[in-house]
A and B are shown apart, each in its own frame.
Chain A
Amino acid sequence: MTTPRKQVHLGAHFPGVNNTTVWSDPRSGSQIDFASFEHLARRAEAAHLDFFFLAEGLRLREHKGQIHDLDVVGRPDTLPVLAALAAVTDRIGLAGTINTTFNEPWELARQFATLDLLSGGRAAWNLVTSSDAFTGENFRRGGFLPHEQRYERAAELVQVARALWDSWDDDAVVAHARTGQFVRPGSVREVRHEGPHFQVRGEFTTPRGPQGHPVLFQAGDSADGRDFAAATADVVFSAHSTFEAGKAFFADVKGRLAAHRRTPDQLLILPATTVVLGATAQEAAERSHEIRLQQVPGPTAIAFLEQVWGRDLTDHDPEGPLPRIEPDVENLDITRGRVRHVKDPRAIAGAWRAQADANGWSIRRLVIEVTSRGGFVGTATQVADAIDRHVQEDASDGFILVPHLTPAGLDDVFDQVVPLLQERGSFRTEYAGTTLRDHLGLTRPAPRNTRSYADRALVG
């Protein structure tokens, strides 16, 4: 008897506001028009992907004190886009990033319960935290939070959100016209929470969604972040897409689950990755190089270097050698609103100079090399083999696919790679269930023991 193959799980990431997204290509469509979102979500659903994914950023990035204008700028609001996509899709999961720092649990729990109801059980929340005073300037509340309190606050926020989702029984709505009983007596309970970060009390407005709780994604990579994921998340959005790093991360995070009385199948590890296909490996490699050149035009290469050097380098030729001038270590927040930490700029500058000199690389070439994150490059068969190997050998449970073109950048993956994964029995050919939890093989959380909340019934 053979054990069934591990199933690959795949998400489709809408291209984001960074230089991965190539806007200069003639095929590149709108980042804002709903048609772009609809295209990607519908094509992903036709390929039976697990979910569509939309990221968030609450302040336009700045570089040298001005809005960074070289990458895509601007995006619609995450949750209304996902709600709108629920109208034009039937099965695919709808996942979005929502920052917890500038939101309150009552409102977030309500929005995700609503999305879950409006989509028939397809909502997922990629919960991120921020201690970012720069973004905080757009908000009256929230803003600066000591780093060590970020996960503490996030954990409390999830606790409150879950209490709110559980405060309605699954079968609370009976709508008995004859007796006038709309909700079953005792089935909707007041929530009372008094914690260090939140004080919440009241009767929640929104029934429990089809999934009970929306699927929770988490992306933190620090030890605290990994523990938070092991304790709380259903899916980890990981950055470790190479095989060796993936295996190490997979073992580490899944190894943390037992301490929280959870089993390995209760948390999926899904790294973000890119795919470049060609009829031959050679053609794919050439296409990949072309894409990298599109992603790193000269001004982008200079701006990237300026983040390390902490000074204006626009007088340098991107096709020329690296700057001989030393970094200004006093000016390391030259770029704001993006996650990149430069620890020792002089050492990095020195290493890059040596690397460029040894290989004869220009500034642009160096930036292309040091910002390359791998990803899958090859024929459809090679890519399908590689994706499957990662999953069968526990380097991941699947991938979140990040295209470089909006909106059709994954069409070739759907058309060429997915069928090969299906042929080998590693990917679904039909949706077996209706909810995202069904697609991901996650159990539906039972309502918690309600005695931990105040027991006052709304309708007696």
Chain B
Amino acid sequence: MAHPTSSPRPLHLGVDLSDAGAHPAAWRTHGSQAQRLFDAERLQHLVDTAQRGTLDLVVIDDSFSLQPTRSTTLRGRLDAALVAARLAPRSRGIGLVPTVATTHTEPFHVSKAIATIDHVSGGRAGWQLGWSSDDADAGHFGRGAALSEAAAVAEAEEAVEVVSALWDSWEDDAEIRDRETHRYVDRAKLHYVEHDGVHFAVKGPSITPRPPQGQPPIVVRVGSDESFGLAARHADLVRISATSRDEALDLRLRLRAAAAAAGREPGDLRVLVDAFVVTGPDQASARARLDLLTELEGVRWDTDSLTHVGTARELTDTFLSWWEIGAVDGFVVRPSSLHTDLDVLVDGVVPMLRTARAFREHYNGPTLRDQLGLRNPANRYAAIA
């Protein structure tokens, strides 16, 4: 296979650090450290590994309900935003992307939480936008029946607009510390967002100064027509599910067209496909690992996207073949077992991608936007000043 010697469009790689891995039985495998599932040092070690492979980002899933799918015997989850904050001081280069849902959480809180993760990480926060149409979630908040998917997405879209405006509500140079006049801030550079919408009325400004990236990248998972539209209008990074290269290509092109139709520069969109991964030194052992996992929990592994069972070499070739034709900008790897497949990704796949000149040798800069090749956006309020 011919590889380009250099690419103007580098490959992006993220890894999902949720639970013990993407397979429901991952926690039961040798070395999973399931006893330490809620231990910060286990998570720190995983981030260290991902950072060793100069991956773009880690994503941490979240939900207000206890393993809502119930396809696994695993139980329990931490607040993803606080996990991301906990991982920030002792990591460098790698993006930290928690899921925060807007259905039951105030946009003002979301805004300052993500902004603060961006501050404590020196510009490495992202926000995977979540929403809930789940009855159990609604019951935790005394809110009766859950919203429909369409209503939850519509509310999430308005929440993104509020959060984004709050991030801009401080201009970057608002803090002046002027000893002459004894003014700490130039209040002309603090802005009321004055949002008065369908779901929210939020005055502003934020209590937290503008995050280092200006706007931390927004990640949207596309799984419906509604979320497709939301992603095209607001996402910097779109996670899609696709089982074939052609399906991914079609979806990526449609997303870019929809972004352009919404007045955005399609080149500012990064489309990553979820890749479920079971690795082994050869085909047979990878297959045997999956068989063992299946046997352990007695459930079939229902993946809804690219699923690779095989060697690191084969996975590298798949990644390259999807990427080279422009089907994707990269992948969010969902290791069947974090403790096994993440190591293979970092120590097996990444070096081969580097050899193919498809993946970075070093981090491009300190921020997540640096890794994604996205400039910090101008402040909407400064622009009209």
Q: A138-B108, A139-B106, A458-B75 are in contact. Are A80 and B66 (CB under 8 A)?
A: no
Q: Which of A233-284 contact B (CB under 8 A)?
A: none
Please name the residue on chain A nearest to B143 by beta carbon: A199
How many Å from the CB of B141 to the closest CB on chain A? 5
A-contact bits for B123-146, CB 8 A (1 contact / 0 none): 000000000000010011110000
Q: Is A375 an interface residue (CB 8 A)?
A: no
Q: Is B202 an interface residue (CB 8 A)?
A: yes
Q: Are B83 and A298 in contact (CB under 8 A)?
A: no
Q: Which of A126-150 contact B (CB under 8 A)?
A: 137-141
Q: Which residues of the other chain, B, contact A38 by a CB distance below 8 angstroms?
A: 89
Q: Are B141 and A200 in contact (CB under 8 A)?
A: yes
Q: Is B323 an interface residue (CB 8 A)?
A: no
Residue among A77, A80, A205, A206 having the largest count of chain B Cβ atoms under 10 Å = A80
CA distance A141 to B122 in the complex (A): 32
Q: Is B379 an interface residue (CB 8 A)?
A: no
A-contact bits for B25-61, CB 8 A (1 contact / 0 none): 0011110101101111000100000000000000000
Q: Which residues of the other chain, B, contact A34 by a CB distance below 8 angstroms?
A: 88-89, 119-120, 122
Q: A83-B82, A111-B79 are in contact. Are A73 and B184 (CB under 8 A)?
A: yes
Q: Is B112 an interface residue (CB 8 A)?
A: yes
Q: Are B184 and A83 in contact (CB under 8 A)?
A: no
Please name the residue on chain B nearest to A21 by beta carbon: B184
How many Å from the CB of B107 to the closest CB on chain A? 8
Q: Which of B173-192 contact A (CB under 8 A)?
A: 175, 177, 179, 181-187, 190
CA distance A206 to B34 in the complex (A): 15
Q: A138-B204, A201-B139 are in contact. Are A118 and B82 (CB under 8 A)?
A: yes
Q: Which of A55-95 contact B (CB under 8 A)?
A: 57-60, 66-67, 69-77, 79-81, 83-84, 86-88
Which residue from B90, B104, B116 sits with its C-beta under 8 Å from A87?
A: B90
Which residue from A102, A203, A459 sits with its C-beta under 8 Å from B65?
A: A203
Q: Is B85 an interface residue (CB 8 A)?
A: yes
Which residue from A69, A80, A120, A141 sits with its C-beta under 8 Å from B85?
A: A80
Q: Are A70 and B203 in contact (CB under 8 A)?
A: no
Please name the residue on chain B nearest to A198 by beta carbon: B142
Tally of A interface residues using CB under 8 Å:
73
Q: Is A315 an interface residue (CB 8 A)?
A: no
Q: Is B78 an interface residue (CB 8 A)?
A: yes
Q: Are B117 and A118 in contact (CB under 8 A)?
A: no
Residue among A57, A79, A203, A205 having the largest count of chain B Cβ atoms under 10 Å = A205
CA distance A180 to B77 in the complex (A): 18
CA distance A168 to B296 in the complex (A): 25
Q: Are A140 and B79 in contact (CB under 8 A)?
A: no
How many Å from the CB of A79 to the closest CB on chain B? 6
Q: Which residues of the other chain, A, contact B113 by a CB distance below 8 angstroms?
A: 77, 79-80
**Segment of B205-213, B261-269, B326-334 engaged in the interface with chain A:** B205-213
Show 18 residue pairs from A and B whose CB-CB distance is below 8 angstroms, ordered by the A residue: A32-B119, A60-B190, A70-B184, A74-B207, A76-B208, A80-B82, A80-B113, A87-B40, A106-B64, A107-B105, A138-B202, A139-B108, A168-B76, A177-B29, A180-B73, A198-B142, A202-B140, A205-B77
Give chain A's interface residues, CB within 8 Å of chain B.
23-24, 32-34, 38, 57-60, 66-67, 69-77, 79-81, 83-84, 86-88, 102-104, 106-107, 110-111, 114-115, 117-120, 137-141, 168, 173, 175, 177-178, 180-183, 188, 198-207, 297-300, 458-459
- The 6 A-B residue pairs whose C-beta atoms are closest, nearest first, are A199-B142, A80-B85, A175-B34, A83-B85, A77-B116, A137-B203
